[in-house]
Chains A and B, each alone.
Chain A
Amino acid sequence: MTAQTSVQNPLPFFVKDCVLSTISTGEHAGNLIEFRDKLLTIHEGCIYHHFWGGHLRPMFIDPEYQNDFAVWAHRALHDNILAERLGIIDPTQFRSQDDLRGAVIEVVENRLDESEEINNLKINAHFYFVRSKIIIFTTPVQINTPLDLIKIVPFMSTHSIFYHFIDARRRSNEEWDDFSLWLQSYGNEFQELISQIRSVDPYFFTLPQLKKELIKVVQKYFISES
């Protein structure tokens, strides 16, 4: 979080930006059994990266499935049953990356139990396990009052949105975004806005869409207030 929680004197919201440094594990899976086996031991950073890192990768198409595992099941394995089951796993519902890993493994093992044959993929269709480290930058921008969100959010980079809205969830004990945590420092005054921001599900938006959604929520709140 970027501000202290004090009703009397809330601090400004300091806007930060970030990049991911992407690291290959050298591990890849060419069929579903290999995939399950690698999942059991792969670095936990891979679990985070393949659920969230896709937001920061170049892409055009609105993702049909919301994480890399589901996309692979769909595009490479052509197993839409598996893709749908993996796609619905919501990473925000798990307390740790290991719990999330367990949920993925369970879905895969169930699918293995149902499968009569295991298809081997060409090397260029393998699943490659990647993890990342996050580099965080300060910016000269700060949001002094909640009303300033209207002015500042439209000019925030998508990486900044990623940092404050997505990555924030693994930094705070409450597992919420930085915006709503900062608004809490105003006591109950912005409870409705907090609730609306928290109702935005980051998992189903690309970053530009997520930014638009946040702008919409903030604008709607302050316009209706005025």
Chain B
Amino acid sequence: MNDILQEYKTVVGEGVIQQLHQIASALKGIRIVHVNSTAQGGGVAEILQKLVPLSQALGLEVEWKVMKGDADFFKCTKSFHNALQGSQKTPDSYLLRKYEEVNAINAEELRPCLEEAGMVFIHDQQPAALIKYCPSRKGKWIWRCHVDASRPNRHVWKYLRDYIVKYDASVFSLDEFTQKLPHPIYLVPPSIDPLSEKNIELPADEIASIYQRFNLDPARPMILQVSRYDQFKDPLGVIKAYRLAKRFKPGLQLVLAGSGAADDPEGDTMLHIVQDDAKDDPDIHVLSFSFDTNRIINALQRAADIVLQKSTKEGFGLTVTEALWKGKPVIGGNVGGIRLQVVDHHTGFLVNTPEGAANRIRYLLQHPDRRESIGETGRQFVKENFLITRHLLDYMALMVTLIRPEDNSIEFK
């Protein structure tokens, strides 16, 4: 067995690997291409970094293409990103023109590859318009939406929809994120990679080194939120919750850790707002990393007593999955995919306000035995439902059902 598959087998078991092999056998000879807009940073790139080699190890012919764009293009697509999640700000006609131009330019380069491919997965809104510039498509094109598009800005959705209706299928993370479209809409939750630097087991001394590195006191409790600096992640709400809880646990420390992504031009602005809010409290540590910090994030998550993800909008919330995988109770905003992962009293607590978060922080800090049992349940939950092997299986199942659209039951012998 291929080395990478052998490694996953140790985590997920032989049965899952056998399933992957069987379904992959039906896709042999079909060239599959994934397209997104960033090679590093953000959940999509993280998933593709392992999904692609894992698919290749199963004998599939898979390529990953990253489209190129300039500042105006990413400004426009960030605006789309916010608008899909409900922001009423609409990009102006100049930015929309840039969006189309950049897609057209990228299509020039990618067209031979994309038009010949058997399956093309277009991730999110950035490359969505490529389909318009690839008229001689031979295979099936699938639009993968990674955000909660349940209540989009209607102007922006109408604009993007004109591209998306051209696809053969789309994929959303949850049923409540979907929009009506004239093609099959598959539901595939995302996943984490248990063997990535961000999630792999770490030696105890590496975890311990985090305290000194970031001037944290290992003798005092520490709560953590890992996320981009983005209004929908509500970092200011986290600071408010920390301050409310600190009245009862004066030694409490808060770490906000975020890494940037190349397609997120608003990150710096929010980071400065957060730094300003936190500047008078030495126990609030606002960390901003460049890209290669996966082991640091991993160590921070393992060092934390509680992990928060107090988002007010969330696609799925892979940082929640990561924290659960490390056996940490999670206090999460009652939105999006967090609700699929955080189950009250089982894997953590769902909250609606900073006050609610503060309450749960106090409860969990007061009950270390509950922290431990909730953490153990969370890890098992992720193992069964949200690892990358399940994600790949879902994608392959989707492709097989697209090839055989009439069959409601497909058997591999």
Contacts and interface: CB of A to CB of B under 8 A. Distances in A.
Interface string B361-386: 00000000000000001000100110
A24 B178 contact: yes
Nearest to A22: B187
A175 interface: no
Contact of B176 (A17, A45, A128, A157): A128
Given A45-B408, A124-B176, A137-B19, A23 B381 contact: no
Interface string A35-63: 00000000001000000000000101100
A186 B412 CA distance: 27
Given A58-B385, A136-B411, A137-B22, A26 B180 contact: yes
A61 B151 CA distance: 30
A58 B412 CA distance: 25
A10 B8 CA distance: 37
Contacts, number: 92
B178 A139 contact: no
User: How large, as a class, is the contact surface on chain B?
Assistant: 35 or more
Nearest to B412: A137
Nearest to B410: A135
A136 B408 contact: no
B182 to A, nearest CB: 9
A157 B410 contact: no
Nearest to A140: B18
Contact of A130 (B150, B175, B181, B346): B175
B397 A135 contact: yes
Contacts of A61: 343, 346
28 contacts: A21-B398, A23-B184, A24-B187, A26-B180, A26-B181, A28-B175, A28-B176, A58-B340, A58-B385, A60-B377, A60-B381, A123-B150, A123-B176, A126-B176, A128-B178, A130-B175, A133-B408, A133-B410, A134-B410, A135-B23, A135-B397, A135-B412, A136-B409, A136-B412, A137-B18, A137-B19, A137-B22, A157-B15
Given A22-B188, A135-B400, A136-B410, 10 more contacts: A17-B15, A19-B394, A21-B394, A21-B398, A58-B340, A128-B176, A133-B409, A134-B409, A138-B413, A157-B15
